[in-house]
Chains A and B, each alone.
Chain A
Amino acid sequence: MYRRLLLSLQSATLRLDTWINRVLPQDFNPLYYTGGLSNLFLTILVVSGILIFLYYEPSLEGAYASVEFLTRDVPYGVVFRGIHRYAADAYLVAILLHLFRNWFTDRYREARDSQWLSGMFLLVVSGFAGFTGYLLVWDERSQLLTSLTVQALRSVPLVGDRLARVFLGGPGVSDTTLPRFLFLHVGPAMTLYVLLWWHYVRLRHPKIWPPSVWVLFSLGLLFILASALPATSGRPAQPGASPEGFAVDWFFLWPYVLARWLAPGWALALVVALVAYGMVVPYTLRETPEQRGVRALGQAVVVEENCTGCELCYYDCPYNAIYMVPSPYPGKSRAAANRKLLAVVVDSRCVECGICIGACPFEALELPRMLDKDVQQRIQRGARAAAPVGS
Chain B
Amino acid sequence: MATVPDRTPQAEEAAPRVVGFLCDWAVRSEGLLSADDTLVGMPHVTVIRVPCSGFVKPGWLELALRSGAAGAFVCGCPMGDCLNREGNWIMEDRIDQLRKRLSRQKVDPERVAFFAFGLHEREDFLRAVAEFVDRVRGSGGKR
Contacts and interface: CB of A to CB of B under 8 A. Distances in A.
Interface string A95-114: 00000000001110000000
B58 to A, nearest CB: 8
Interface stretch (B86-94, B102-110, B129-137): B86-94
Interface in B17-51: 17, 19, 24, 37-38, 46, 48-51
Interface string A364-391: 0001001010011011111111110111
Indicate the size class of the contact surface on chain A: 35 or more
B51 A382 contact: no
A18 B90 contact: no
A391 to B, nearest CB: 8
A362 B38 CA distance: 29
B127 interface: no
Contact of A32 (B19, B81, B120): B81
B83 interface: yes
Interface in B41-73: 46, 48-52, 54-60, 63-69
Interface residues of B, number: 49
Contacts of A390: 66
B84 A387 contact: no
Contact of A355 (B38, B84, B118, B121): B84
Contacts of A380: 63, 67
Interface string A327-360: 0000000000000000000000001111101111
A79 to B, nearest CB: 32
Contacts of A387: 68, 141-143
B126 interface: no
A294 B24 contact: yes
Contacts of B38: 382
Given A29-B80, A378-B46, A355 B87 contact: yes
A262 to B, nearest CB: 40
Interface string A306-342: 0000000000101100000000000000000000000
26 contacts: A15-B119, A15-B120, A17-B78, A29-B80, A29-B81, A32-B80, A204-B86, A295-B51, A297-B51, A318-B84, A318-B87, A358-B57, A367-B51, A376-B63, A378-B46, A379-B48, A379-B64, A382-B17, A382-B64, A383-B63, A383-B64, A383-B65, A383-B68, A384-B4, A386-B141, A387-B68
Given A370-B50, A379-B63, 10 more contacts: A316-B86, A358-B57, A358-B91, A367-B51, A378-B46, A379-B60, A381-B1, A382-B46, A384-B4, A389-B63
